Amino acid sequence: MAQANTLHDAFIDELRDVYNAEHQLVKALPKMAKAASTRELRAAFNAHLKETKGQIKRLEEAFESLEERPRGKHCEGMAGIIKEGESVMKDGFERQAMDAALIASAQRVEHYELAAYGSLVAWAKAMGHTKAARLLQQNLNEEGKADKKLTSLATRGVNINRRAAEIAHDDEDE
């Protein structure tokens, strides 16, 4: 973190970090969608791509409400999570295992964003940045819905985890 002396300084630093994280995600989501084997998972990644672009616009509005220029600070955390996801896509898993691994990677992203936005919302409220808090809360809500959607895809919707496990056990029996 840059020389942060106050909560406001830490808030701006974290806002820049998450702004960059969302930009990194805009580049990663199309690759994840392409690697997904099911229509439902591809659709979820593409829908979240659209949401992420909206979240970037809200972040820009939050910066403006604070009379700050929207700019990012390289987010090492998101870069690492994306790098792990890219390595999963290169591992050559069979279809269901790949989809399960993609969901796990995407949920790591969502949990990282949930933590970041949760802190930002709390700090914005504490400092009386009402408009920024409202915008950031919208992003936090969308990240929570995206995480729930991924869980649903893994456990109920397309039963990716179950099918991947069945295939793994079939291979072990041979």
**Domain spanning 7-173: which superfamily?**
Ferritin, core subunit, four-helix bundle (1.20.1260.10)
DSSP 92: -
DSSP 68: -
Contact between 153 and 36 under an 8 Å Cβ cutoff? The reply is no
Residue ranges per structural domain of the chain? 7-173
Q: How far apart are CA 25 and CA 79, in angstroms?
A: 9
pLDDT (tens digit, 9 = 90+) per residue, 59-94?
A: 999 999 999 999 999 999 999 999 999 998 998 888
What pTM did the predictor assign?
A: 0.87
Q: For all residues of the chain together, what is the average pLDDT?
A: 91
Q: How far apart are CA 171 and CA 174, in angstroms?
A: 5
Average pLDDT of span 28-37: 95
Q: How far apart are CA 170 and CA 61, in angstroms?
A: 52
